Amino acid sequence: MCPQLDCPINEQFTREDQCCRFCAGADFCSVGNDCHSNATCHNLHTEYICSCNKGFKGDGKVCEDLNECDQKGGNDGHHCGQNTICVNTLGSYKCECLPSFRR
């Protein structure tokens, strides 16, 4: 059974993948979404979208670890300094000192 809506009829609509009507601006993320566990759900006016979290890449429904060590600098690259080596971690990276160097 569909829930009773508390918005005017002119603000109600039916989503293509649903049988019940919704109010515009509803919290679609909490109703159920298919975003990946490493993604964030974003409510729009009549739907939701998924986007991968920082450190991951994909369409939001499938997110894979981004290897920041493959690129130096920028938004998606590492910022390890001289005498360090970049080590990829899930969703991030860490900089480790080269042998004979320490922090």
* Residue 28: how many other CB atoms lie within 10 Å: 20
Pairing of strands 92-97, 84-89: antiparallel
Q: How far is CA 5 from the centre of its chain?
A: 30
Q: Which architecture does CATH list for 66-103? A: Ribbon (2.10)
Show pLDDT as tens, one digit a residue, over the chain (103 residues): 887 888 888 888 887 777 888 887 778 898 778 999 999 999 987 789 999 999 999 999 999 999 999 999 988 899 999 999 999 999 999 999 998 887 6
Domain ranges of the chain: 1-65, 66-103
